[in-house]
Structure 1
Amino acid sequence: MIRTTTSLLVTTLFGLGLSSCQEKKYADALSPEASMATFAIHEDFEVQLFAAEPHIKDPVDLVFDETGAAYAVEMPDYPYKPEQGEGRGVIKKLVDTDGDGTIDSSIVFAEGIADATSLMPWKGGLLVTAAPYIYYMKDLDGDGKADSKEQLFSGFFENNSEAQITNLRLGIDNWIYAANNGQRSEVTYKEKPGAGSLNLQGADFRFRLDKGKFEKESGTAQFGMTFDNWGNKFFTQNTLHIQQAVIPRRYLERHGHLSSMSVNHNISDHDFEMFQMTPPPYWRAERTRRRNKQYQEQELDRVEHAEDYFTGASGGIVYNGGAFPEGFSGNVFTGDVAGNLVHRDLLIPDSQGPTQIARRPPEERDREFLAATDPWFRPVGFTVGPDGYLYLVDFYRQHIETPVSIPDDLKEEMDFMNGEDKGRIYRILPEGKTSQLNSLPDFSSMDAATLVGQLENENGWWRTTAQRLILENSKQEYVPFLKSLAEEAAAESRVLALYLLQSMDALTADLVSKALQSEHAGVRKNALVLAESFPEMEEAIAAKTSDPSSMVSLQAILSLGNFESSFAREKMAASLIEKGKNKWFRTAILSSNPGSAPETLEILDKEYAFFDNPESWKLDYIKEVSHIQGAKGNEKSIQSFVELLSTLPNETVENWKAIALEGLKAGLKKSSDRHTESLSSLLSQLESKENQSETQLKDLAVLF
């Protein structure tokens, strides 16, 4: 059920205001109180105002540091690009002077920032994404203002404020992740000038300041990226409100020759469907009308929707605050800035594979967790606070869309900066509850036992804050307490303790072995990641390829792929037979050298009669193996591969031949700059045949 927050006086005045302005195409702004009165929210919750203008304007992100201080970043330049790098972006420290839970003052921490989009506390300061940079800013003299501004990373894509580096998140594995929307960037790290630049096209980004590392990450998050307690990554991208990045990028790049690095998976079982309470704005309705008319005139089988379809999904977060009623932990909350609403998803393990399914809760089959009739309500992001409640960042603008996508005649009636002097942040909490933000302990004064003990807190903000402080200033005195948690704590805390021990070079194979036997799948999954550092654990990793949890068995296959032994190849072949029908297991196997080796094909042929039945998934596997071998450009491996295929029984050779040679040709084209004379001749032979099925494998084998 949904409860509507109401104020009779405000609602009446609002209604009278609308009735007297029937000719207006766009509604006027409302006060924070009047806007809140238009909210319809789940009956068990209420919304409180945390901050509003004049203390905050155009907010796009909110974080709390280890003292409980709130920092928000403002993006007043949206949707236009600041000229010559001079922006109006502001970072503010939000202050509640009287302790009533509402912000009544603010301090400008930093200003003049172009395209600042997200924050993360770090070593007493803030990491800030502001394309083309990631900065580190710090207040050195205690006046609340940043005295230091250091460019850590540079080179990020900066030509579209809706698709730039953002969403800083500290992962359970101690890496800091950021959304990059797959934009082409040439990123350099100030502390590692000799490392060269990193091209992020088609990927997101992650880095470790404590280890001096930076690399690509799977996914193309636009403005919304989150992780569950086990490190599974979910992200938003406009019309696709929740996707999962199924396989981390580091595995996909082991040999680097997969035909596709995309592992984005739309996990919603209700796709674009949403239930907004606002009609589409005039410009959107008119643009959609024109486009649909054009589609009909061109006889295209295409329809555009102006409402009730996700088009501005933003800021998804897995709730882990521990202060919501039973059944809400692990739910994903996502805003849609065009639909003026907050959507909620349950994450359900997919019985058919290693991914999740995002499903509407039963009580929200035909409505949203929160929806407004105020068309200025723009929920762009969320954070879990120290009190365990969910904080919602409302950009609050009349229009939120890039002007380049709107016809010129419609733009004439639109002021894209209308509302730049406004902005709100709300607190969502169970009905009747109160916030305790002003009663936090001082994390910086905690002794080792107390700080490590916060890793067991039911509130994810407390756990992450303790994790970060331990990571920032690792001390040997933490080790015995972390080891105790790594053996005996609840699953979420145990995983954090194991990764922190790894970061301090204090992790032992014994601790990892014990974690591999945990009853909790999330612990087993992450223990497998950690086991990769111990060569003696190859067999223990392999044993988990048949784990009853698909999440665990997928990770086992990925982890085993780091070992290049004959044993690993045998287990890869067995895993392919057992799980190869599923796309993600197949990709995990193919991402490794042992899983895509000609020797593995020999095992499949001899031990499993793999080629006797050319099922579609087997053909997909062979095509990809062929592509990988061709792209590697290794003459010896390609020779073994072609000779193996040439020995197949005549009754099956035609099916395998056509698909294998198609993949081989595509791969060879990618490696053409490294070809020997034999490989060049092989590619010429393949390209000279209009019908590859006529090409004789034995003839090709002779080329070697």
Structure 2
Amino acid sequence: MVRRLLASLLIFSTCSTVLLVVGGAPPKKEAASAGPYAPKISPFSNEASFASKRIQVPRGFETSLFAAEPLLANPVCFCIDLKNRFYVAETFRLHDGVPDVRDHMDWLDDDLASRTVEDRVAMMKKHIGKDLPKWTVEHERIRLLEDTTGSGKADRSTVFADGFHHLADGIGAGLLARDGNVWYTCIPDFWLLRDPKGIGVASERRLLHHGYGVHVAFIGHDVHGLRFGPDGKIYFSSGDRGFHIQTEGRTVSCPDTGAVLRCNPDGSELEIIATGLRNPQELAFDQYGNLFTGDNNADHGDKARWVYIVEGGDSGWRGSYQYHRMPVALGPWNAEKLWHPAWDGQAA
């Protein structure tokens, strides 16, 4: 039997990954708008179909196109619910509201000094000045795709949620759907969205956490990888933009490195599992409950890594290492071989 690999995987990403308030997260004010957000989306073309033919897959698999423009645009990640509906995180703020510090190196000292999202926003306002309104024009949003005929191709597309366009808002990079709930991460926030009317639009939004992304840092170092663990908690990863979160009367903070976290589905009992990561992506449990992630390399001689996530572990990365050049690029990360697999004489 030929296994079919749905080519929503051909929804090529432009990156490379909800208002009751819980745990003291501040409510957000929606900016006035002249009308519904309507970004420019390319018309239908055969580009995605042609691209699918170039994908190499194992014997017994094949690719087919599930969805492309104009049903969606600029996908970052997607998830599938029990009704086989696809929730797709679309980005329109990439380089159009979400900066990369490499394009603004005069911000670097202030950016490294940021300890909270509020620090980052103040820093951005200071440097952007009169151009500030341009940084909140484009939105992040979630698209809902459905195959209503069983043809294997999406034929219905609706905007499930949008309005994520504040100065602090980053790239929406994490989605998870279960039992009518949709969890969505868009720095600085972790949202729970619901569509109780069943009309394909999230009319209920609950803010579970606020405080991810204390630095501008490198674009794409976001909150992603949402998945349920064997304990029923939601596990997810955060890049080295860091976080500082006030929740349930306590502070959960890791401002200078990437991490893996978990919380209950209602956002409670947020905790850090492991730190010292650069930009961990998706998470995967094996049949024994062991947790793994893939971590990006830093482009200066180190290699991307598969990391076994040990509770309480620290893999050694700090965001400031990215900017070390002398005497060794990436500082201790390379000099002390912190990214290497186990070796005699390693630092830890």
User: Shorter-chain TM-score: which interval?
Assistant: 0.5 to 0.7
The one-letter code of the counterpart of 2:286 is: D
Question: For residues 137 and 250 of structure 2, what CA distance do their matches in structure 1 show?
Answer: 29
Matched, 1:91 2:147: no
For structure 1, which runs of at least 5 residues remain unmatched after alignment? 1-28, 253-260, 265-294, 303-356, 358-581, 584-615, 625-704
Shift of 1:182: 3.6
**Selected match of 1:262 from 315, 319, 322:** 315
Pairing 1:60-459 to 2, within 5 Å after superposition: 60-82=76-98, 87-113=138-164, 114=169, 115-157=171-213, 159=216, 160-189=218-247, 192=248, 194-199=249-254, 201-202=256-257, 203-209=259-265, 212-219=268-275, 220=277, 221-239=279-297, 240-249=303-312, 261-262=314-315
Q: Contact 2:273/2:310 (CA < 8 Å) preserved in 1?
A: no
Q: Closer, same or farther in 2 for the Cα pair 1:187/1:80, shift >3 Å?
A: same
| Partner residue in 2 for 1:14 | none
Give the Cα–Cα distance (whole angstroms) in 1 for the partners of residues 296 and 73 of structure 2. Answer: 23
State which of 47, 53, 63 in structure 2 corresponds to 1:47: 63
What's the counterpart of residue 689 of structure 1? Answer: none
SS in 1 for 2:82: coil
Describe the shift of the 1:174–1:85 C-alpha distance in structure 2 as closer, same or farther (beyond 3 A). farther
CA deviations 1:567-614 (Å, max 9, x no partner) are: xxxxxxxxxxxxxxx88xxxxxxxxxxxxxxxxxxxxxxxxxxxxxxx
Contact 1:118 1:129 in 2 (8 A): yes
Gaps of 5+ in 2: 1-44, 99-133, 298-302, 318-324, 330-340
Q: CA deviation at 1:30?
A: 5.9
Structure of larger gyration radius = 1
Which residue of the partner structure matches residue 36 of structure 1? 52
Change in 2 beyond 3 A, CA 1:58/1:67: same
In structure 2, the CA distance between the partners of 1:153 and 1:122, relative to structure 1 (3 Å rule), is: farther
Q: Match of 1:340?
A: none
CA contact 1:133–1:152 (8 Å) conserved in 2 = yes
Do the aligned partners of 2:96 and 2:135 also contact (CA within 8 Å) in 1? no
Q: 1:301 to 1:180 in 2, by over 3 A?
A: closer
Change in 2 beyond 3 A, CA 1:201/1:169 = farther
Tell me the distance in 2 between the aligned counterparts of 1:35 and 1:49: 9
- One-letter identity of the residue aligned with 2:235: Y
User: What TM-score comes out, normalization by structure 1 length?
Assistant: 0.31
Shift of 1:174: 2.1
Inter-CA distance 75–101: structure 2 relative to 1 (3 Å threshold): same
Deviations 1:443-493 (A, max 9, x none): xxxxxxxxxxxxxxxxxxxxxxxxxxxxxxxxxxxxxxxxxxxxxxxxxxx
Q: Alpha carbons of 1:228 and 1:80: their partners in 2 closer, same or farther (altered >3 Å)?
A: farther
Opposite residue 202 of structure 2, the aligned amino acid is: A
- 1:214-264 Cα distance to aligned partner (Å, 9 max, x none): 111215243333222223232223334432234212xx5xxxxxxxx3278
Change over 3 Å in CA distance of 1:238–1:244 after alignment to 2:
closer
C-alpha separation between the residues in 2 aligned to 1:197 and 1:247?
19
Q: Residue 178 of structure 1 contacts residue 205 of structure 1 at CA under 8 Å; is this kept in 2?
A: yes
5 Å matches for 1:481-520? none
Find the aligned partners of 2:262 and 2:147 in 1 and give their Cα distance.
34
For 1:39 and 1:175, how far apart are their aligned partners in 2?
35
Q: Return the alpha-carbon distance in structure 2 between the equivalents of residues 262 and 237 of structure 1.
A: 10
Amino acid at match of 2:220: E
Contact 1:58/1:74 (<8 A) preserved: yes
Task: Give a deviation string over 1:12-55, Cα, whole Å, max 9, x none.
Answer: xxxxxxxxxxxxxxxxx961222123333333321111111111
Deviation at 1:211, TM superposition (A): 8.3
Q: Which residue of structure 1 lines up, in the alignment, with residue 10 of structure 2?
A: none
Match of 1:93, SS state, is strand
Query: Offset of 1:74 from its aligned partner?
Result: 0.7
Distance 1:200 1:132 in 2: 13
Q: Which residue of 2 aligns with 1:496?
A: none
Counterparts of residues 16-27 of structure 1 (less than 5 Å): none
Write the deviation string for residues 187-232 of structure 1: whole angstroms up to 9, x where unpaired.
123xx1x123433543322212368211112152433332222232
Looking at structure 2, the residues matched to 182 and 301 of structure 1 have their Cα atoms a distance apart, in angstroms, of 20
Match for residue 659 of structure 1?
A: none
Distance (whole Å) between structure 1 residues aligned to residue 149 and residue 292 of structure 2: 38
Task: Tell me the distance in 2 between the aligned counterparts of 1:223 and 1:246.
Answer: 12
CA 1:134 to 1:301, structure 2 compared with 1: closer, same or farther past 3 Å? closer
SS at 1:218's partner residue?
strand
- TM-score norm. by structure 2 comes to 0.59
Report which of the two has the higher share of strand: 2
Provide, for residues 516-545 of structure 1, a one-character-per-residue CA deviation record: whole Å limited to 9, x for no partner: xxxxxxxxxxxxxxxxxxxxxxxxxxxxxx
Structure 1 residues 114-141: Cα deviation after superposition (integer angstroms, max 9, x where no partner): 4211111245121100000001111122
CA distance in 2, matches of 1:223, 1:211: 20
In 2 relative to 1, CA 181–301 (structure 1 residues): closer, same or farther, beyond 3 Å?
Answer: closer
Q: Is the 8 A contact 1:92 1:106 kept in 2?
A: yes
Is the contact between residue 72 and residue 91 of structure 1 (CA under 8 Å) also seen in structure 2?
A: yes
Rounded Cα–Cα distance in structure 1 between residues aligned with 2:293 and 2:178: 23
Deviations 1:638-692 (A, max 9, x none): xxxxxxxxxxxxxxxxxxxxxxxxxxxxxxxxxxxxxxxxxxxxxxxxxxxxxxx
Contact 2:67 2:153 in 1 (8 A): yes
Greater share of helix residues, 1 or 2?
1
Judge conservation of contact 1:234–1:242 (CA < 8 Å) in 2. Answer: no
Distance change in 2, residues 1:241/1:231 (3 Å): farther
In structure 2, distance between residues paired with 1:76 and 1:59: 9
Q: Is the 8 A contact 2:252 2:271 kept in 1?
A: no
Aligned 1:542-621 pairs, distance under 5 A: none
- Select 1:58's aligned residue among 56, 70, 74: 74
Residue 87 of structure 1: how far off its partner (Å): 4.3
Change in 2 beyond 3 A, CA 1:204/1:80: farther
Cα distance, 1:246–1:206 mapped onto 2, change above 3 Å: closer
